[in-house]
């Protein structure tokens, strides 16, 4: 009896490939036990706790009329999203290069897989942390949820574009991982995680307002707390950075995608 295999369109093939890559990535990254998922939550909590202790030791219970814990989490979580997404995207092709020899797997599949994992992880961690904060008695619900979502989406778009650019660079320069570290580590101290624009004298704003991550965190805090109004957070600047980044990233990735398979 001749049984013909059902024909699958390109969307079904892509969906199956991404699902298979998702299972592979989750098992590789988080391990076979549930403790691997714990670290996704423990890392930002530990950083906020350490910084919170430092603020307590110097006698600060609030920053810009915002409770220290909420202030720190609204800075740490967006930055962790940027850092993790950038690191994972920049290595997406190199980590899955062997799979690109299969006809069904295209260069964009591992990139899409890592985007889905990082965004899902960020959403779960964000909701868990702020749910716990609300349970502890903090006013943890954003005053303007759409503004928080908008700032997060622009940061995500900016990071994806930069990640695609670094992903392409990795096929030409094996030490590009060091460049990613060079980018992310100093940004931790200048992106407004443990300070905000109103704490900086106006004559020094120019040292920080070039940084799109700083704008994203400032705009996110403005949406989160009515008590805070950023003097330099700019939707126009952040949108321009996101548009330029994703345009260059997508164009570069598309232009050199054949090299991902041949290199």
Q: What is the pLDDT of residues 66-76, one digit of tens each?
A: 888 888 888 88
Report the half-sphere exposure of 45 (CA within 13 A, side-chain side).
13
**Cα gap 5→167, rounded to integer Å:** 36
Mean pLDDT of 3-11: 62
Q: What are the pLDDT digits (tens) for 117-140?
A: 889 888 888 888 888 888 888 888
Task: Please return the burial class of 240, using the count of CB atoms within 10 Å of its CB with bins 0-12, 13-18 and 19+.
Answer: middle
pLDDT at 58: 64
Is it the case that residue 153 has pLDDT exceeding 80?
A: yes
Is it the case that residue 222 has pLDDT exceeding 60?
A: yes
Smallest Cα–Cα separation from 182: which of 56, 86, 52? 86
pLDDT at 42: 72
């Amino acid at each position: 009896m001749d049984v013909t295999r059902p024909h699958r369109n390109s969307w079904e093939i892509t969906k199956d490939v991404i699902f298979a890559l998702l299972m592979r990535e989750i098992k590789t990254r988080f391990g076979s036990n549930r403790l691997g998922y714990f670290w996704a939550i423990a890392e930002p909590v530990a950083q906020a706790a350490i910084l919170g202790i430092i603020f307590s030791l110097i006698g600060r219970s609030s920053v810009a009329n915002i409770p220290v814990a909420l202030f720190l989490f609204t800075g740490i979580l967006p930055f962790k999203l940027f850092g993790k997404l950038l690191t994972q995207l920049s290595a997406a092709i190199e980590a899955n290069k062997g799979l690109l020899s299969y006809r069904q797997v295209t260069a964009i599949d591992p990139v899409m897989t890592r985007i889905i994992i990082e965004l899902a992880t960020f959403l779960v961690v964000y909701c868990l942390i702020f749910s716990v904060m609300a349970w502890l008695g903090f006013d943890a619900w954003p005053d303007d949820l759409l503004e928080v979502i908008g700032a997060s989406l622009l940061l995500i778009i900016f990071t994806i574009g930069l990640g695609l650019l670094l992903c392409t660079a990795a096929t030409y320069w094996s030490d590009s991982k060091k460049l990613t570290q060079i980018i992310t580590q100093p940004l931790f101290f200048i992106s407004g995680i443990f300070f905000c624009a109103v704490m900086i004298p106006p004559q020094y704003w120019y040292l920080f307002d070039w940084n799109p991550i700083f704008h994203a965190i400032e705009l996110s805090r403005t949406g989160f707390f009515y008590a805070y109004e950023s003097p330099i957070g700019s939707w126009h600047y952040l949108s321009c950075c996101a548009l330029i980044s994703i345009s260059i990233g997508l164009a570069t990735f598309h232009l050199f995608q054949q090299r991902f398979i041949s290199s």
